Amino acid sequence: MTVLQELVGDQSLAVWIVLGAIGFLLTWKGANVIESTTSKISDHFGVSQAIQGGLIVAAATSFPELAIILISVLVLGDFGVGAGALIGTAVFNILVIPAAVSITSGDTTTTQGIVYRDAIFYMVAVLALFGVIALGVLGTDGREIARITPQMGVGLVVLYGVYVILLAGGKSGASDLKRAESTNVPKQAGLFAAGLVVVLVGVESMVTMTVQIADALDAPSFLISVTVLSALSSFPDLLVGVKMGKAGDKRAAIANVFGTNTFNLVAALPIGVILAGGVSIGFLTSVPLLLFLFYTTLVVVVMAATDFEITTEEGYVFLAMYVAFLGWMTAEAFGITTFLTESTLRTIVG
């Protein structure tokens, strides 16, 4: 039971949806503050656009997802809520944000660093997560359940550390921005902390709404998280990407996508595993989703590598792919398709 449930008690689904909407607005506002303050502090210290987009802003704008995994593990004791949100967020980010940037700001130029470092490393992160889940099957009696231990989670976090080193040590790590001497760093740090608190409150409301919707529909919380909760939590990332694109920082916007997803999969998700002391996840559920995520990423990388540009037309293709993903999840919810079976969906437990 979440803190919000304890405060307001039993309520109708409509009330929970309203509270979830309020939580979404709080998360949106808090995430905007976090993104703004981290950008100003980064500019003050002359941090390059590549590191800002791929590491600092990516980690900052991923705080809603980190908050989701923390609340799902520490408060709800339901790892499925957090896992579903992070996987759904990865799909949303890799398809919708590049599409939105290219559609709203025109053809988006990428770089070799974005394609051959950020994008490829992100694909490595997806495969690493897949490998960890596959190894988790070896520790169980059957092949349907994978046990992910805290040690495996630490291994994924170490992989993220490698990504940080690559960003900091690469050519793109050199400063290409002038220091903004007028920035009041203590003030921005205070606003940053306030933004974190606001996001925590907002995320708690959205997680509670997700659980209530799942109960009302008698559906696995994972399935609601991978669609509804992930889209809500990713909306701030979408706004940041569009804002960057319109400001002329299209490359940073695309780098932010890969940086955010890398953080979510090999930092936020394993942190939840570590805090939970290990989790069990349905192998037959995770395989189709991770394969979809991998091949979706492959399509985006290939298109981004073609003339190092994502065109507006390709943006519409990405949107169509995300609509197809939502259609697949809806079909699963109504039992039209059974790639994610009822039994495996309900085996994502702490």
Distance of CA 168 to the CA centre of its chain: 22
Nearest-angstrom CA–CA distance, 67 and 229: 12
- Print the domain residue range for 233: 3-172+185-345
User: How high does pLDDT run on average in the chain?
Assistant: 83
Nearest-angstrom CA–CA distance, 247 and 227: 29
Q: What's the number of domains the chain is made of?
A: 1
Identify whether 177 is part of a domain.
no
User: Which CATH number fits the domain that encloses residue 200?
Assistant: 1.20.1420.30
pLDDT of residue 110: 85
Question: Kind and range of the H or E element at 199?
Answer: helix 185-217
Nearest-angstrom CA–CA distance, 82 and 79: 5
Identify whether 180 is part of a domain.
no
Window from 117-131, 163-177, 216-230 with minimum mean pLDDT: 163-177
Distance of CA 107 to the CA centre of its chain: 24
Average pLDDT over residues 255-260: 85
DSSP letter assigned to residue 265: I
| Amino acid, res. 9 | G
Contact 235, 66 (CB under 8 A): no
Identify whether 26 is part of a domain.
yes
pLDDT of residue 331: 81
Average pLDDT over residues 43-55: 67
- Would the pLDDT of 344 be above 60? no
Please name the residue that has the structure tokens 């997802």.
65
pLDDT of residue 175: 43
| Confidence label for 290 from pLDDT (cuts 50, 70 and 90) | confident
- Which DSSP string corresponds to 111-129? -HHIIIIIIHHHHHHHHHH
DSSP letter assigned to residue 171: G
Nearest-angstrom CA–CA distance, 171 and 333: 46
Distance of CA 3 to the CA centre of its chain: 23
Identify whether 282 is part of a domain.
yes
Identify whether 179 is part of a domain.
no
CA angle 102, 223, 100 (to 5 degrees): 5
SS3 assignment, position 205? helix
Exposure string for 216-239, b = 16+ CB within 10 A, e = fewer: eeebbbbbbbbbbbbbbbbbbbbb
- Would the pLDDT of 333 be above 80? no
Closest among 348, 275, 279 to 139, alpha carbons compared: 279
Highest mean pLDDT: which range of 53-67, 85-99, 270-284: 85-99
Higher pLDDT, 170 or 251: 251
- Would the pLDDT of 181 be above 70? no
Please name the residue that has the structure tokens 């609601």.
224
pLDDT tens for each residue of 86-130 = 999 999 999 999 999 999 999 988 888 888 888 889 999 999 998
Contact 233, 89 (CB under 8 A): yes
Higher pLDDT, 343 or 168: 168
- Would the pLDDT of 190 be above 50? yes
Copy the structure tokens of residue 154: 């630490």
Identify whether 350 is part of a domain.
no
Window from 47-61, 98-112, 305-319 with minimum mean pLDDT: 47-61
Please name the residue that has the structure tokens 């930092």.
267
Window from 34-43, 90-99, 223-232 with minimum mean pLDDT: 34-43
Higher pLDDT, 43 or 150: 150
Nearest-angstrom CA–CA distance, 225 and 260: 18
Copy the structure tokens of residue 207: 């997680």
- Would the pLDDT of 57 be above 60? yes
Nearest-angstrom CA–CA distance, 182 and 219: 52
Q: pTM of the entire structure? A: 0.84
Nearest-angstrom CA–CA distance, 255 and 53: 5
Q: What percent of the chain has pLDDT over 70?
A: 88
DSSP letter assigned to residue 45: T
